[in-house]
């Protein structure tokens, strides 16, 4: 096989700072080449450099990219335009923002064909419809006239793939194509990509942070960190014997310890939810009449024992976060009871609820919006303690407690006087945890606390959560979409679909012997590492 694209000694700089440090790789005809790395490692920059779409502030300081023996950096812009889209196509991470919302999807695909192939109108339409068929979009003739907002995330990504394939490119660059999608949808899209790749003998540059997806898709893998390629190998060799210590740790973090957690057996139930229903009214018209209800949570029952973790698993829109908010009394509960140590929280007034606010706390998903950018870390942690009267009014003793909390989550006491923007995502998540711990809760609702984090940081946060549980015996309600982390953290698991729990039980029984077809499908869809 001859090489289709080769990147030679490519270095990128911005204002004297090196972003890429002379990287080398080549992609052969009909090969899936995966570029793996955590955020900020330079993998997306590499793909932009190939397309010559780099922002103007970034300059190429050395190196060359050869596509079919043409040096891309030497081509004039009009020739490059022909290569973009026609020979090299790209799929982006966010299908929502990559499609133009005011054009029908058919027109958007047709536009590309018109520019590059110059077909007649009827031929173009035929071609678009055959492409829609190829990417397995249902009713392709009818969907031609649909707008992007009428499609689901997975369908939009299929349209993006159709646009990319429209001009029969030789190389497809897929930049995290499935990161924004649910597991079951991701599995379908990946399967589709693989099928098309084999059928058309296409080369794919697959950029991702997810090791399991790599294992499923790639022929060869390169690992990037801080703008360098650390290791490059054939896929099977890569997973069986990784060479570089960073790769080894990445793989280890991605896999999670499979050994059973040490189960603490403490008697007594902390929280009991029975027949919980949360229905949001849909309001329309001039006087905001209620015309119907969205049944976000529709009759859910579960309980969390003291010192244990219940994982609530489900795809986006399944109502799992709403359950968290309902337990915190942040959304009105339509029906059912939430009992905390035999006290029903549903009908308590705001004042009577205050003692329970102290016992149930929450850690959020997005470390960037979870902290007020205008407050110092100290004030952020102090707010809850003061509001719920956990500490004395003496500022010095508050500060002492804050520094102790910061040390507990493995930050430094002096961070107290800084502002959130000075911290990384993982550090912010630690601050969020410290804020929840400040009021000494007995139950912490963790709403996807790790889904916005890199793999290695995710492992650290999970480890921290576990350590805190062992030290203080706090219970967790762990809301997640990621089945792979469930065995590491949870004792029990409940699987949600469309507002209902379809299956619950101990982690072993659900993960190893799922009964409900949806659970089976979820488990099957989750990409796995080959070990």
**Chain residues that interact with another protein, rule: CB under 8 A:** 288, 325, 328, 330, 350, 353-354, 357, 360-362, 364-366, 369-375, 380, 383-384, 387-388, 419, 421, 432, 435, 439
What's the min distance (Å) between Cβ of 148 and another protein?
Answer: 23
Tokens found for residue 276: 């919980």
Q: Hey, which bits of 449-517 come out as E strands?
A: 475-480, 492-497, 500-506
Q: How far is Cα 531 from Cα 525, in angstroms, rounded to an integer?
A: 17
With beta carbons less than 8 A apart as the criterion, state whether 220 and 229 touch.
no
Among 481, 508, 506, 502, residue whose Cα is nearest residue 492: 506
The distance of closest approach from Cβ of residue 362 to another protein in the complex, given in angstroms and rounded to an integer, is: 5
Comparing CB distances to another protein, the nearer of 5 and 468 is: 468
Residue showing tokens 């102290």? 358
Query: Which C-beta is closer to another protein: that of 267 or that of 373?
Result: 373
Q: Count of CB atoms within 10 A of residue 444's CB?
A: 23
Report, in Å, the least distance between residue 419 CB and another protein. 7
| Cβ–Cβ < 8 Å for 342, 269 | no
In DSSP terms, which residues pair with 444 in a beta bridge? 361, 476
CB 281, min distance to another protein, A: 11
C-alpha distances (whole Å) from 117 to each of 84, 89, 110, 173, 334 are 13, 14, 10, 20, 57
Residue 79 Cβ, how far from another protein at the closest point, in Å?
Answer: 32
SS (H, E, C) 184-206: HHHHHHHHHHHHHHHHHCCEEEE
The residue among 381 and 510 lying less far from another protein, judged by its C-beta, is: 381
Mention every residue, 6+ apart, whose C-beta is less than 8 A from residue 168. 200
Output the smallest distance, CB 354 to another protein, in A.
5
Least separation in angstroms between CB 338 and another protein? 14
Residue 49 CB, nearest distance to another protein (Å)?
Answer: 20
Beta bridge partners of 234: 220
Q: Is 460 in contact with 424 (CB distance < 8 Å)?
A: no
Residue 179: closest CA among 95, 239, 249, 254: 95
CA distance 449 to 461: 8
Looking at beta carbons only, is 297 or 360 nearer to another protein? Answer: 360
Residue 308 in contact with residue 266, Cβ under 8 Å? yes
Nearer to another protein, 365 or 475 (CB): 365
In terms of Cβ atoms closer than 10 Å to its own Cβ (0-12, 13-18, 19+), residue 190 is buried
CB of 287 to another protein, least distance (A): 9
Report the distance separating Cα 194 and Cα 158, nearest Å. Answer: 13
Minimum separation from the CB atom of position 356 to another protein (A): 9
**Residue 261 DSSP symbol:** P
- Whichever of 439 and 462 has its CB closer to another protein, that residue is 439
Q: Which of 405, 439 has the CB closer to another protein? A: 439
Residue where the block lists tokens 């976060």: 321
Q: Which is nearer to another protein, 384 or 426 (CB)?
A: 384
Of the two residues 417 and 524, which places its CB atom closer to another protein in the complex? 417
Question: By C-beta, is 235 or 439 nearer to another protein?
Answer: 439
């Amino acid at each position: 096989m001859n090489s289709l694209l080769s990147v030679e000694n490519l270095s990128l700089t911005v204002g004297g700072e090196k972003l890429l440090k002379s990287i080398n790789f080549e992609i052969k005809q009909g090969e899936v080449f995966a570029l793996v790395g955590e955020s900020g490692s330079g993998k997306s920059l590499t793909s932009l450099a190939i397309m010559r779409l780099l922002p103007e502030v970034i300059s190429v300081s050395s190196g060359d990219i050869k596509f079919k023996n043409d040096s891309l950096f030497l081509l004039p812009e009009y020739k490059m335009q022909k290569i973009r889209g026609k020979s090299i196509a790209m799929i982006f991470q966010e299908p929502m923002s990559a499609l133009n919302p005011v054009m029908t999807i058919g027109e958007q695909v047709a536009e590309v064909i018109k520019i590059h192939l110059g077909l007649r109108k009827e031929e173009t339409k035929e071609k678009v419809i055959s492409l829609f068929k190829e990417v397995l979009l249902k009713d392709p003739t009818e969907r031609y006239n649909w707008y992007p907002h009428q499609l689901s995330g997975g369908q939009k990504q299929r349209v993006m793939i159709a646009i990319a394939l429209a001009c029969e490119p030789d190389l497809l660059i897929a930049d995290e194509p499935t990161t924004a999608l649910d597991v079951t949808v991701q599995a379908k899209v990946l399967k589709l990509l693989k099928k098309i790749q084999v059928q058309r003998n296409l080369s794919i540059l697959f950029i991702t942070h997810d090791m399991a997806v790599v294992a499923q898709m790639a022929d060869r893998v390169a690992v990037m960190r801080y703008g360098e390629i650390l290791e490059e190998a054939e896929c099977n060799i890569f997973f069986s014997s990784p060479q570089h210590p960073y790769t080894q740790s990445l793989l280890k973090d991605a896999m999670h310890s499979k050994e059973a957690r040490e189960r603490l057996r403490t008697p007594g139930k902390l929280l009991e939810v029975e027949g919980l229903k949360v229905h949001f009214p849909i309001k329309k018209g001039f006087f905001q009449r209620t015309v119907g209800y969205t049944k976000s949570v529709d009759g859910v029952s579960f309980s969390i024992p003291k010192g244990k973790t219940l994982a609530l698993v489900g795809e986006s829109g399944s109502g799992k976060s709403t359950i968290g908010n309902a337990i915190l009394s942040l959304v009105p509960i339509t029906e059912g009871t939430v009992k905390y140590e035999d006290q029903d929280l549903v009908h308590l007034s705001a004042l009577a609820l205050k003692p329970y606010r102290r016992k149930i706390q929450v850690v959020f998903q997005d470390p960037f919006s979870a902290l007020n950018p205008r407050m110092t870390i100290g004030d952020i942690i102090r707010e809850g303690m003061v509001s719920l009267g956990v500490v004395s009014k003496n500022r010095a003793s508050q500060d002492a407690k804050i520094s102790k909390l910061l040390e507990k989550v493995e930050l430094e006491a002096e961070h107290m006087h800084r502002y959130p923007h000075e911290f990384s995502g993982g550090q912010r998540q630690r601050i969020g945890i410290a804020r929840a711990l400040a009021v000494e809760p007995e139950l912490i609702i963790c709403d996807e606390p790790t889904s916005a984090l890199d793999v290695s940081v995710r492992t650290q946060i999970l480890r921290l959560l576990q350590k805190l549980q062992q030290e203080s015996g706090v219970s967790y309600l762990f809301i997640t979409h990621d089945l792979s982390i469930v065995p590491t953290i949870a004792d029990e698991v409940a699987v949600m679909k469309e507002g209902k729990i379809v299956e619950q039980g101990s982690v072993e029984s659900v993960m190893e012997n799922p009964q409900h077809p949806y659970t089976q499908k979820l488990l099957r869809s989750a990409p796995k590492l080959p070990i």
